[in-house]
Amino acid sequence: MNKLFKEFRSSLKDIVAEEATDLFLFRPVSFVFTKFLVKLPVTPNQVSFMSMIAGIISGIFFSFGDKKSFIYGGLFYLLCHIFDLIDGMIARLKKNGTPLGRIIDGWVDYITSVAVFIGLYIGFLKGKFDLPFGALIITIAAGASMILHSVIIDYYRQQYLSSSTGRNKTISEDYRKFQRRFHYIKSRRGNYIEKLLLFVYLGYTKVQVTGTRDKAKVLIKKNTKASKILLVFWNMIGVSTHRFFLILGVLLYQPMIFFFYVIVFCNVLLLVLYPIQWKVDKREDPVSDRSE
């Protein structure tokens, strides 16, 4: 049992960076599947593709708008999220993850989200839902909120992981590395899929680099306490928690559960956390660290 627990821990990121819904619900289930798949010649990218297929199918079911279809759509979306976790767990256990694989995983998330929200919008038009402000506005508001939350939490999570592991690798450095790769293959023939993936990834990362203050160096001893506590709260608006409430809402045929969470609760929490995080970042400015 102890060996199994250690293997489960090795398949995770830093515990603090894990959302509660993942740590106590989704990842234990995913780990069961991972234990089986890790013995097979299955790559993380292949699992990412399975996640995308499940996500698209969920969007198709949502588009029918009836209660039964929403249940099926919710179950496929649950399967989509489990596969989305499995690809990373396999990569960590097999130690065969690649930077391109991380981009592919991000692309799968984009495609899945588009399919799901289009499906939900069509389903809202067909079904009998009492949605404030109408189906289009509330769907766009939820989608835009999810994008905003994902960009912000990805930034702070990566900054914490970089400092806690001692690598001190910032998002700007990550951006420059992929930018060099993109410039290298841009003028060459072939690699069209990689070019497209890199182009979109660079656009997404640039939003994080220009929209938030990046650190060149972060001292672990200064970053750990305050950033760790804040990250626990940031995780409450993470992607997995978004998906948990979406799955809950569609399975109960009560989508307002999800909309209230993502549009109201998450944005209020963001407005509370952001100024606190800004003060913490300012206090932990690496410029002052170099003078000590």
How is the chain split into domains, by residue range?
1-127, 146-170+215-292
Q: Is the pLDDT of residue 215 over 60?
A: no
Number of neighbours of residue 199 by Cβ within 10 angstroms? 12
173-177, 198-202, 270-274: range with highest mean pLDDT: 270-274
37-41, 161-165, 174-178, 270-274: range with highest mean pLDDT: 270-274
Convert the pLDDT of each residue in 227-247 to its tens digit. 788 898 999 999 999 999 999
Q: Is the pLDDT of residue 220 over 60?
A: no
Q: Is the pLDDT of residue 162 over 60?
A: yes
Lowest mean pLDDT among 143-147, 262-266, 288-292: 288-292
Which residues lie below 8 Å from residue 165, measured CB to CB, with a gap of 6+?
Answer: 14
Burial class of residue 19 (count of CB atoms within 10 Å of its CB; 0-12, 13-18, 19+): buried
Q: Is the pLDDT of residue 7 over 80?
A: no
Convert the pLDDT of each residue in 244-262 to its tens digit. 999 999 999 999 999 999 9
CATH code matching the domain that covers 1-127, chosen among 3.20.20.80, 1.10.10.10, 2.50.20.10, 1.20.120.1760: 1.20.120.1760
Q: Is the pLDDT of residue 1 over 70?
A: no
- The DSSP element (H or E) to which 211 belongs, if any, is helix 192-211
> What are the contacts of 82-85 at 24+ separation with CB within 8 A?
82/26, 82/29, 82/30, 82/33, 83/47, 83/48, 83/50, 83/51, 83/54, 84/48, 84/51, 84/108, 84/109, 84/112, 85/22, 85/26, 85/27, 85/30
DSSP letter assigned to residue 12: S
Q: What is the mean pLDDT of residues 19-23?
A: 91
d(CA 255, CA 234) in angstroms, rounded, equals 23
DSSP letter assigned to residue 213: -
State residue 238's pLDDT score: 92
The overall longest dimension of the chain from CA atoms, in Å, is 64
Tell me the average pLDDT of the chain. 82
Lowest mean pLDDT among 95-104, 106-115, 264-273: 95-104
State residue 287's pLDDT score: 46
pTM, to two decimals: 0.81
- Is the distance from CB of 149 to CB of 240 less than 8 angstroms? no
